[in-house]
Amino acid sequence: MKVLGVDPGLTRCGLGVVESNGSQKLSMVGVGLIKTSPDLGLEMRLLELETELIEWIDLHKPDVIAVERVFSQLNVRTAMATGQAAGVALLVAARRGIPVMMHTPTEVKAAVTGSGRADKKQVALMVQKLLGLDEIPKPVDSTDALALAICHHWRGAGNARLAAAVEVDKARKLVKK
């Protein structure tokens, strides 16, 4: 399974692709950053994000896209920009028929480090270790995108199996009626 992690941002949007061949062994396929200029209008920045996300999807052909869930931030303007960037990722995925899973920062930290309260440095060091990288990818947006992809490999598959089991249970109960 190949997962594209997207750490949404209007100025800097981190991207990371992590692949698994069915075992716990994960490998980095690609990592990068989409930058848009604050001098451009909002609509042009969103178009730039869309264009580059499509290029990444065409190049890496992910099975799933994992996007960071924006739930609250102190700066409303930053939260809006992050939400707009996340919306572009969701739209591109929907147009391509690629499933999307959203993970909160706490879920990502817990999956990667074992603690939902880990700091950025701890997450970055674990991403480096888990993927067997010589160095931590820079900037932090890229590392966060890889962490999202790792989180989905470990949590997303389990969550999908639980959801499927619940559906099977519901179907069995309907059949018994």
DSSP 102-164: EE-HHHHHHHHHS-TT--HHHHHHHHHHHHT-SS--SSHHHHHHHHHHHHIIIIIHHHHHHHH
| Catalytic pick among 7, 48, 52, 107 | 7
Residue-wise pLDDT for 116-170, tens only, equals 999 999 999 999 999 999 999 999 999 999 999 999 998 875 555 555 555 555 6
| Catalytic pick among 19, 52, 68, 107 | 68
> Are 148 and 5 contacting, i.e. CB atoms less than 8 angstroms apart?
yes
Class of domain 2-176: alpha beta
State how far the Cα of 67 lies from the Cα of 46, in Å rounded to an integer.
16
Give residue 160's pLDDT.
57
| Catalytic pick among 48, 52, 107, 141 | 141
Give residue 33's pLDDT.
98
State how far the Cα of 43 lies from the Cα of 52, in Å rounded to an integer.
14
User: Is 141 noted as a catalytic residue in this protein?
Assistant: yes
pTM comes to 0.87
User: Is 7 noted as a catalytic residue in this protein?
Assistant: yes
Residue-wise pLDDT for 73-98, tens only, equals 667 888 888 999 999 999 999 999 99
**Tokens encoding 176:** 């018994």
User: Is 169 noted as a catalytic residue in this protein?
Assistant: no
Domain boundaries, the chain: 2-176
State how far the Cα of 32 lies from the Cα of 174, in Å rounded to an integer.
48
